[in-house]
Each structure stands twice: as C-alpha cells, then as structure tokens.
Structure 1
Amino acid sequence: MAKHTAVCCTAPNYGDTIIQAFQQLHDEDLFHDVMLLSEDYQSYQAHRPLLAASSDYFRAMFSVGMKESLEMEVHLQGVPSQGLSSILEFIYSGKLFLSMANLETVLSAAVHLQVNEAVRLCKEFMVSKISAEDSIRIYQLAQLFYFNDVEAMAFDCILENFRVAARQVDFYELSAEQVMQFLKRNDLKACKEIDLFEIAREWIDFDREVRLSFAGQLMRKIRLPLITPSDLETKVKTVDFMRDITKCSRLVEEAEDYHRYPFLQNKKQSSRTQVRGTEQAICVVGGMSEYPTSQVMAYKIEGGKEAVELKEMNTCMHVHCAAVMDGFLYCVGGYNLRSTSKNKILSKLHRYDPRFNHWMELAPMSTGRINFSLCVFEGKLYAIGGIISVSNSKSQRTGSVEVYTPDTNSWEPATPLMSQMSCHAAVVYHDEIYLSGGDVYTSGKPSNNMMTYNPLSGNIHQKSPMKVARYLHGMCVVCDRIYVIGGVNQASSTTRSDVTAIECYDPYSNYWQIVTQMPFSRSVISPIVVNEKICILGGFSSLKQRETSEIIEFDPCMEWHVAGNLLTPISGHTCSMLTLPNTIPNSDIDMKPCSMQTTV
C-alpha cells in the first residue's frame, strides 16, 4: 500500500483576503455585533472578532466574564470620535491617514486601544516629520507617550536648529521652566547669543501679562556678556523690561562692566561668560610652512579632525608660544621673517577670545623671545628662557623669566633660571614647572637636564637627567607621567640627528625610562593630550628636511597611528586645546564698548 505524505500548501495573500472580506461586510453593514460609542457619543458599528484580533484592549474587553462581552453597545471613555474613526478605518483597511493636525488624537486612541500596529505607524510618522519647524511638537508628543527614542531624535533636531524651532507656535506654548531648560544648554547650535535673547523676549511678549514675572529668571539663562557691546546698546537696553525690572537691569550692567574692562575679564568668568559650546578643538596658531603664517586653524576633536578657520592674527610668527587660561588663548613672542625691523624677534602678547572670534593685543614682554616656554600657573603666564636676539647666525640665549598678570595687563621679572636655556620643553605638574632638555651646550652637546621651577618661591631643583639629550622636542603629562617626544640631538656644530626615543618620567620615583621608539622623526613640535592620547600635529623632519602635515596619535600603551592630516605641512606652530562656540562669530564684529571706557 502506497504511503502518502501530507504537503502544506499556503495561500500567500490569505490574510489580506480576510481583511478585505471584513471591510466588505463592514461597508455593506452585515453581521456587525457591537456598537462602539466615542467619548463624545459618536457611534460606530464593528465586528468583535476583528476588533479582538487587532487589539489586546478589545480582546480583554470581549473575553468571558467581562460585562462588555454581553453588551451590544460599549462606551469608550477617553477616546474621541476623530481618533476612534481613524483607528477603526485602520483595523478594517490597514490604512492610517496622519497629519500634524490629527497626530495626537489618533496616537492617543491607538495607545488607549492598544492597537500596536497603528502605534508603530504613528511613531514612524513622527520620525519622518522631525524637522526644524515640527521638532518641538514631535518632542512634546514623544514625551507625552514615553517614546524615548523619538524624543531623543526630536531633541537633537531642536538643538541643531534652535533659532528656527524656537520661532514656531509650539515653542511659545512651552512653560517657563521648559524654555529655561533649553536656554541654559551649551549645545544649542546655529544660534548667536543675541538670537537667544530675542527668542526669550518673544516668548515673554507672546503672553506678556502673565510671563513678565519670569523675565528675571529667564534672562539669567541668557549670557549677556557674550553679546557684543553694540548689540547690548541697540537691541537689549532698548527693551523696556530690561531697563525697568531690577533683576534684568543688573544683568545688563554686569554685561557692560564685563566689556568695559577687558583686562579684568579673567576674574569675571561665570556661567554667563562661559563659551556656549561643547566641542573642544586643537587650535593651531602660526608656524612655518613654505612661508611663515598668521593663520589660526581649529581642528575639532570629534568628527575626524574637521578644520575650522578662525580669525587670523595680524602678525606672521613661528617658534612662538601659546597657552590657554580662563577660556582665552594667549600667544606671545615668536619670529617674524616678514618684519621690516632689524630685530625680527617679537615681544608682543595677543589674546584670542573664542566667544567673539577676536584677537586683542596686550602688553608686550620686556624683551622678545623665540624657542622659549610659556606656562600657566595660578592665573598668571610665565615666559621662561629662550633666544632673545640673533646676529650673524649667533643666538643670544637667556635664563630670565617674566610673569604676566592679566588684572594689571603687565609683565614683571621673576626669579631667573640658574643658566641660559632655549629650545627646551616645559609642563606644569603638581604646583611646579618641569623643564627638560634644550639648547644648553655642555661640551658641545644639547642638554639632557630635567629640573623643576617653583614660580612662587623661585626654588629650582635638578632631577634625574633624561636618557637622551634633546632640544626642539615636546613634553606633556598623561596619567601622572611626564612624556618627552621627538626633538633633535646634535653631536657637533654641523651634525644633527632626529631623536625617535620616547621617554617617560615618574615624578614620584624620579626615574626615566625609554618606553618606545617613534616610527618617524619629528622636531619643532607642540604635542597635546587628547583623551589621554598624545597628539602630534605636523612638525619638522630633519631626515626629510621638510615640514609634515600628518596628525599622529600615540597611546601610552605603545600604539601609534595616523589620525589625519593638517590642511598644510607646518612646524614651529603652537597647539592648544580650546572650547569653541557652536556658532563661530563673524570676525569683523565691533568689540569696542559703546559709551564705555576701554581701560582700567
């Protein structure tokens, strides 16, 4: 007897056929077995089996033991007719017609009735409508219905497009607390501070009688010192409540005072003078490529070292120094080959303010310097050693130290070093300045010295020497260890060789060790630490006799890799970590205080 095997045959569109059949029964008003009443008592006929198959809510309602299972008419509290009709149409056809006008009503009905497929479609629609114009509304709905993923996407869109998003009607309907939560953030994009002031003012004017009482609190979230003096005068002080409400007028006075005395701004730093930005960038200032440059480039830490051009300095320079203090970038000294002066070594000090993309010239050092070091120590700048003159290819070195005090905009002499020093490297660590190497000749060789200098006491202490003498090298601190990188060794007055050994110094044990060799040569560098990795941007190769554009990262775990390239090969530049505003201001802004003194 033949054995028969059963074969499973499938109708691919069977489900669609059943849905179409139910829709036809519905359209022809056949076999309806329940009447649904909306919150506003609009009635809709339906089929229990299809409702139960489409919704856990109806499945439970029509189960045995529930009173609705025996009733022909069911009143759905909390479900308005517009939402109920849309959900029933979806249940019978699989089609859901959505717009920003009906989204909340339909979504509320879908969630209430637990029609999960309709909820999913609403979420997809919300994501598709996230834009500068609709992001606030989508954000509110996502919060209301606990769609955390959609909320996060809408929130990011608001931050990216805040100037547009905050001009929509939905923004004007936010509470004072919600508005303040936005205005205090550092990551608002495409917005100047004057734009945020205008947004806050417009929100108040939308319902002035009620909202004027929030003006003082709201304006504390606006960083008025980040508004230019001219805009303070013409756009802020002209607003009546900024004059008439004491809390607001005091904030205006604070901003005016900030601009009135630029040399005192270091001591006036607060939450309202903080750069409105979250991105840190490596600022590359000046340097030598084919020619000396005055260009200032910022390479963002995130996003593959994206480059942004900042306001240029008015002087070309290289082998100068730079340091960041109180959110300002200071550049001083250097060599200007294009200068018409006999002495091309600079003494000038400039301060860059990222809040306004603006350079300001400050008091110069008593003498020009190149190949020196600049350190920040307890709110002051220390210029240490260097070359102070070059004549007939001979360099005059110095062991002098000058200290700059921002409050008085002045330089004063400090305790000098015990010997002349140039082309050395320096870092601040635990209340002392560590100085290594340099062009300090002993028997015709560069130095391998390591010493500490205490700016307060003037005490100088010799430490264990490096394994390899070097100059024109770099130095930085990573995880309580001091690293020296690159540089040049010189066996005689005519023979130079690149140093590839990286040495690590333990300040606690006063011990050096060579941790690895660089797979390349670099000198005249300005290394910087990024996320506990040593980053070298550009530099000079004595072997190749040219500058490089490579950005190299070194992990203290002994790993090297190329992280990108500068726009141009360069050496003799400086690298400093600085927080930039999300919107780089126009560099041509007028920073002169309106009707204010410009000096103390």
Structure 2
Amino acid sequence: MSSFLAYCKSHRGMVFTQYQMLRAQRQLCDVSLIVDGNEFPAHKSLLACSSDYFRAMFKDYTKESKATVIHLKVISSTGLQTILDFIYTSWLSLSLNTLEDTLEAASYLQVLDAIPLCSQFLINTCDFESCCYSANIASKFYLTDALTEAEKYIINNLWRLLQEDLCDIELLELNVKSMINFIKSNDIPRVSEKCLLTLVLNWLQYDNTRLAYAKVLFDNIRYALLPLDILRKLYTQTDVPLTASIKCMIIKAINYHSAPSRQPLLQDKYSTLRNQKGWIMLVGGTANETFVENMLGFDVYSHKWRSVTTLPLKVQHHCTCVIGNFLYVLGGETPERPQNGTKDATLAVTNIVYRYDPRFDQWLQVSCMLEHRAQFSCCVVDKYIFAIGGRGDQQTLLSSVELYDINRDTWTKSKDLPFKMHGHASTVHNNIIYISGGKTDTQVNSCKDVYLLNRLEGQWKKQAPMSIARFGHQMATVKDSIFTFLGIYEPFSDIEKYEPKHNQWTRLRPLPFDRFCYGLVVVEQTVLLLGGKKWQDAQEVPTQNIVGYDTENDRWEEICSLAFPFSGLQCSVLKLSDITESNEKFSKAYTLKKSTISSGIEE
C-alpha cells in the first residue's frame, strides 16, 4: 500500500485570511479586549498561538480562560490595534508616530516576532530629524542593534545637530546610556572638546535627576583639550557638583597648560584628540622657486589634501620630528629682508626651533639650538631630540651634536662627530642613532661612511660603509632594517638596505629615475618619497609625483601627484582631528540654556 505527503503553500495564508474575515465580522470571537474604552474582538486560540502572554492567560486554571471580556490597562488602543493586525495578518504597520505604542504592546503582550521588525524599522528610518528619538526608543525597549546604529549616526552627525536650534531639545532629551557612550567615544568628528563640555553641562542641568551621572560623564571629558580659561571657570562653577577626583583632573589639566614646553611628555587619554587620524605633514621647502609658507597635510589612503597651518618661519634645509604628537621644526635656511638697496633676499642659517600643537592649532617657540644649523640631521631617542652636524653661519661645517631635553626646555652638547659634516642622513634603530654619507671638511666628494651612536655609551663607532657615496639623501628604519634612499649628484638610482644585526648592506631595486630634495616618511611598511627634483638635460627639474617603496616586496609604485612642484620639504606623520574654523563657530554659539554658567563657558 503506497502513501505520499503533500504540502499546500496557500493553506497557511488562507487560514490567516479567514481568521481576519471572522474577526472583521465578529464571528466565532470568544473574547473582547478592552483598552481605553475601545473594544477589540478576537479569538483566544489565535492569541494564544501568537503571544506568550495570552497563552499563559488562557490556561485552564485561570479565571481569564473563561472570561469573555478582558481589560488591558498598560498598553494603548493604538498599540493593541497594530499588534492584533500583525497577529491576524503577519503584516506590521509602522510609523514614527505609532512606533512607541506598538513596541509597548508587543513587549507587554510578548508578541516577540514583532519586536525585530520594529528594530529594523528604526534602523532603516534613522535620519537627521529622527536619530535622537530612535536612540531613545531603542534604549527604552533594549533594541541593541537599533541603538548601536542610532548612536553611530548621532556621533557622525553631532556637529550638524549642534548647528541646528531645532535639535537642541532632542539632544538634551537624549537617554542616559547614549549620552555616556558619546562622551566615551574616540570617534566624534568635527566637534571640539569645548562643545562637548557645553553639551554635557546643558544635558545635566536639563533634568536635575541626571546629576547622578555627572561623575561618569566628567570622567570622560578630555580636560587637556580645553582652553585654560574654560578650565578655570569650570572649576569654580557651582551649578553642577564636581567630585574631588574631577577637580583633581581639572587641576592637572591647568598644570598641563602651565608648563607648555613639557606637554609632549604629559600625554594621556585626556590630551588625545578624538577622531584623530594620521596625516603626512609637508613642512617648508620651495615651490616654483618660492618658499612655501603653508604647512599641508596629505592623507595617503584617501589622497586628500588639507591646509593645516601657516609656518611661523619660511625655511629650507631644515629638520622635523614628532614627539607626543607635537611637531618640531628645527633650524634651516630662512630668507632675510633685502638690505643695502639690493632686490634679492639673502638666506640666513637659523637655530630657531618651533613646536606645533594640533590640539589648539598653535605654534610655540621653544629654546633655540646652541648652533645655527642647515643641511643637518635630527632624530629622537628616549624623547630627546638630537641635532647632528650640518652647515652653520658663513658656510662653516659643524661636527657638533646637541640634544634637546623637553623636560627642561634646554639644549646641551653631546658627543661630537668624528668629522665636520653636512648633507648626511640619520635614523634610529633600537634607540641607536645611525648616520650615513654627507660631505666632510676634508672631502670634496660625498662619502660612504656610516657611524652609530649609542647614547648610553656616548661614542661614535664606524660601521660597514654603503656601496654608494651619498649626499643630501634620506634614511628610514622599517622594522629591523635601515634603508638609504637617493641623494644629489648620484650616478645611480639604487637604494640600499642595512641589517644592523649583521652590519651588512644590500642593494635593492632602483627608483625609475633619480630624485633629490624630496620629503620622506614611513607609513606602515611603505616608504613614501614626496616631490623633489631630478636631473634632466643637465638641469634641475622639479617633480610633482609621490612614489611609494614597498619594503617587504622590494617594489616601487607611483601613488599620486602633488598639486604643484614641491622640493626641499621635510615630512612627518602627525595625528589631526577634522575640526575646522567653521566647526569652532558653532562651539562658541552653542550656549547653555538653563544656567548662569553660560557666561563662564562661552567666550
């Protein structure tokens, strides 16, 4: 005897359709749900199949199982209507106006299949006008995915929300969890710390019951990013109580501002920019034979450019380095004003050192070097800056080495080089300084020599020489290897790799064409060469392209082009946020609504 199992696709839908018709015609309905005086006829069997709440209510031993009328007091008639429609049709009608009622009904009645649909609706409809409402609803009903997306949207658009007066109330009504998550975030774009502080103060004072959350919010304000006058006024305000630990952090930040030269050594979470990302700084040099005054930033990943700041001094043949995300610009040649009726400006070698702070977009002149230096090298060891050799006043060559103590803001002499030298290059590997090439006072041509200096030993030691004599070249350390790149007057375009462990040099793939007076920077395991000049028909010709050398695969690749020919520059990687002048305007305009502290915080 044979048998088979058949399945009808339309039967399930037909059953729902028939149930909906019976409900509409009030046929076979064995219960009426009463909410706010409104009656909703229904079928106990279908309710029990769709809701854990009704399944428990209609057990044989409950009085509700025999009741024909049940009053529901917690939910609204709008919410119940929507959930009943969902139970009978599998369709959930949603809008921002009815969403909260729907979620209350779905949660209370335990119609669990409706809740993920509400969550997805919040995610799909989250926009500039509704993001704060979405976050509050998601937080209230524990919709984790929707809350994450709403908070992400608010964080990315907070700068816009703060510009809109209509969004003030929405932000101030934001739920506690979201506000705490914002202040803890490292990725708030285009919003200054001052603006965040103002928002926190407004939010706390909007509802006095929130003062219980003041500590966790203030714990995550980055006080060193606030101006000194704001810190002092915050410390003395009385509208929002400050704990002893918060006051200690404010005092610490005030002390941070009181010792500007030591700031690179005092870096911590409270002085770290939010939403920061590494930019390659193009510092100094010339373009079209004119000194470049603007310091540019280049994002190697997006190929975007930005004007960062204006240099306090036009320079070439200078050095740069970064400590604690502060950029130092040392020495170099700078044009002097024409004298004695001459039209052309002369170049003077300087010993001035400037330091740039991206947190406040400010330059600070720190102690000058003991010697005027150009065509020298500098490097950082144990947070000391070493200035090595170079060319001084009246074209004299220098063998002197000096180091800058950030803690004391002083320069002191270190162990002199074996020779007077300029045009050499330097790098650091395992806290040991390596220098190579250059020209000495006893040589007309470039040299191949390599020396190292261990700061603890205090002696220069000669190492295996390069295979090519180099002058005006660059060095870079990548992992456990040191690379030397092209200089001026070189007959080849070869580069070399030095292994400190074996004291051995190896030639690598040459650059397709010669290049000198370029900027160099290391990004991950790629060495970038930016701009510079090359020889063509016995003339120096500027180049505009940026090329990258893959140290792992010994391969060159052209990245992109500069906006204009750029040479004689120095490059360093500095972490910047994307706060601009226009963003700062709304920080100043965003005022405290309830408190007299407004006059204290806002300028």
TM range (shorter): 0.7 to 0.9
CA contact (8 A) 1:334 1:370 kept: yes
1:179 is displaced (CA, Å) by 3.7
Q: In structure 2, the residue corresponding to 1:88 is in which secondary structure? A: helix
1:418 is displaced (CA, Å) by 0.4
**Structure 1 residues 532 and 365: alpha-carbon distance in aligned structure 2, compared to 1, 3 A threshold:** same
Q: Does 1:409 align with 2:409?
A: yes
Cα-to-partner distance string for 1:495-529 (whole Å, 9 max, x where unaligned): x54x4222111111111112322233322233222
1:224 is displaced (CA, Å) by 2.4
Write the mapping of 1:84-123 to structure 2, written as runs, cut at 5 A: 84-90=80-86, 96-107=92-103, 109=105, 116=113, 121-123=117-119
CA contact (8 A) 1:133 1:168 kept: no
Name the residue aligned to 1:191.
Answer: 191
* Distance in 1 (alpha carbons) for counterparts of 2:122 and 2:578: 27
1:201 is displaced (CA, Å) by 1.4
Name the residue aligned to 2:541.
Answer: 546
Q: In structure 1, the residue corresponding to 2:333 is in which secondary structure? A: coil
1:323 is displaced (CA, Å) by 0.5
* Distance in 2 (alpha carbons) for counterparts of 1:538 and 1:549: 5
Name the residue aligned to 1:363.
Answer: 367
**Structure 1 residues 545 and 169: alpha-carbon distance in aligned structure 2, compared to 1, 3 A threshold:** same
Cα-to-partner distance string for 1:171-201 (whole Å, 9 max, x where unaligned): 54533x7644432332122321111211221
1:425 is displaced (CA, Å) by 1.6
Q: In structure 1, the residue corresponding to 2:252 is in which secondary structure? A: helix
* Distance in 2 (alpha carbons) for counterparts of 1:143 and 1:486: 59
1:354 is displaced (CA, Å) by 0.6
Write the mapping of 1:238-277 to structure 2, written as runs, cut at 5 A: 239-241=237-239, 246-277=244-275
1:223 is displaced (CA, Å) by 2.1
* Distance in 2 (alpha carbons) for counterparts of 1:57 and 1:414: 81
Name the residue aligned to 1:295.
Answer: 294
Q: In structure 1, the residue corresponding to 2:102 is in which secondary structure? A: helix
**Structure 1 residues 560 and 39: alpha-carbon distance in aligned structure 2, compared to 1, 3 A threshold:** farther
Letter in 1 for 2:499: D
Name the residue aligned to 1:570.
Answer: 566
Name the residue aligned to 1:220.
Answer: 219
Write the mapping of 1:20-39 to structure 2, written as runs, cut at 5 A: 26-27=23-24, 29=25, 31-35=27-31, 37=33
1:339 is displaced (CA, Å) by 4.4
CA contact (8 A) 2:31 2:44 kept: no
1:87 is displaced (CA, Å) by 2.6
Name the residue aligned to 1:153.
Answer: 149
Letter in 2 for 1:85: Q
Cα-to-partner distance string for 1:531-570 (whole Å, 9 max, x where unaligned): 2222222222234733333222222212332333333321
Letter in 1 for 2:298: Y
**Structure 1 residues 536 and 38: alpha-carbon distance in aligned structure 2, compared to 1, 3 A threshold:** farther
* Distance in 1 (alpha carbons) for counterparts of 2:438 and 2:453: 15
**Structure 1 residues 108 and 549: alpha-carbon distance in aligned structure 2, compared to 1, 3 A threshold:** farther
CA contact (8 A) 2:136 2:175 kept: no
Q: In structure 2, the residue corresponding to 1:259 is in which secondary structure? A: helix
* Distance in 1 (alpha carbons) for counterparts of 2:442 and 2:406: 37
1:319 is displaced (CA, Å) by 2.0
Write the mapping of 1:522-533 to structure 2, written as runs, cut at 5 A: 522-533=515-526
Write the mapping of 1:341-356 to structure 2, written as runs, cut at 5 A: 342-356=346-360
* Distance in 1 (alpha carbons) for counterparts of 2:444 and 2:26: 107
Name the residue aligned to 2:596.
Answer: none
CA contact (8 A) 2:509 2:555 kept: no
Unaligned 5+ residue runs, structure 2?
1-7, 339-344, 586-603
Q: TM-score, normalised by structure 1?
A: 0.80
CA contact (8 A) 2:135 2:178 kept: no
Write the mapping of 1:124-523 to structure 2, written as runs, cut at 5 A: 124-139=120-135, 141-142=137-138, 149-162=145-158, 164=161, 167-169=168-170, 172=173, 174-175=175-176, 179-208=179-208, 210-212=209-211, 214-233=213-232, 236-237=234-235, 239-241=237-239, 246-290=244-288, 291-302=290-301, 304-337=302-335, 339-340=337-338, 342-389=346-393, 395-440=395-440, 444-488=444-488, 490=489, 497=491, 499-523=492-516
**Structure 1 residues 335 and 114: alpha-carbon distance in aligned structure 2, compared to 1, 3 A threshold:** same
Tell me the percent identity.
27
1:50 is displaced (CA, Å) by 8.1
1:350 is displaced (CA, Å) by 0.5
* Distance in 2 (alpha carbons) for counterparts of 1:478 and 1:125: 49
* Distance in 2 (alpha carbons) for counterparts of 1:227 and 1:270: 14
Letter in 1 for 2:511: M
Q: Does 1:535 align with 2:528?
A: yes
Letter in 2 for 1:367: E
Q: In structure 2, the residue corresponding to 1:311 is in which secondary structure? A: strand
1:18 is displaced (CA, Å) by 9.0
**Structure 1 residues 586 and 85: alpha-carbon distance in aligned structure 2, compared to 1, 3 A threshold:** closer
**Structure 1 residues 202 and 399: alpha-carbon distance in aligned structure 2, compared to 1, 3 A threshold:** same
* Distance in 2 (alpha carbons) for counterparts of 1:373 and 1:66: 90
Q: In structure 2, the residue corresponding to 1:194 is in which secondary structure? A: helix
Name the residue aligned to 2:577.
Answer: 581
CA contact (8 A) 2:204 2:240 kept: no
Q: In structure 2, the residue corresponding to 1:106 is in which secondary structure? A: helix
After alignment, is 318-327 or 37-46 more displaced?
37-46
Q: Aligned residues, how many?
A: 559
* Distance in 2 (alpha carbons) for counterparts of 1:97 and 1:356: 51
CA contact (8 A) 1:357 1:586 kept: no
CA contact (8 A) 1:470 1:487 kept: yes
Unaligned 5+ residue runs, structure 1?
1-9, 491-495, 590-600
**Structure 1 residues 541 and 51: alpha-carbon distance in aligned structure 2, compared to 1, 3 A threshold:** farther
1:335 is displaced (CA, Å) by 1.8
CA contact (8 A) 2:50 2:87 kept: no
Q: In structure 2, the residue corresponding to 1:519 is in which secondary structure? A: coil
After alignment, is 395-404 or 90-99 more displaced?
90-99
Q: In structure 2, the residue corresponding to 1:318 is in which secondary structure? A: coil
1:312 is displaced (CA, Å) by 0.5
Cα-to-partner distance string for 1:51-101 (whole Å, 9 max, x where unaligned): 89xx8659x969xx9999x98969799876432311333566776443334
* Distance in 1 (alpha carbons) for counterparts of 2:523 and 2:578: 20
CA contact (8 A) 1:277 1:579 kept: no
CA contact (8 A) 1:547 1:569 kept: yes
CA contact (8 A) 2:29 2:41 kept: yes
Q: In structure 1, the residue corresponding to 2:507 is in which secondary structure? A: strand
* Distance in 1 (alpha carbons) for counterparts of 2:279 and 2:124: 33
CA RMSD of aligned residues (A): 4.0
Letter in 2 for 1:104: E
* Distance in 2 (alpha carbons) for counterparts of 1:145 and 1:386: 68
1:411 is displaced (CA, Å) by 1.9
1:366 is displaced (CA, Å) by 2.6
Q: TM-score, normalised by structure 2?
A: 0.80
CA contact (8 A) 2:297 2:305 kept: yes
Name the residue aligned to 1:560.
Answer: 556
Letter in 1 for 2:368: P
CA contact (8 A) 1:474 1:486 kept: yes
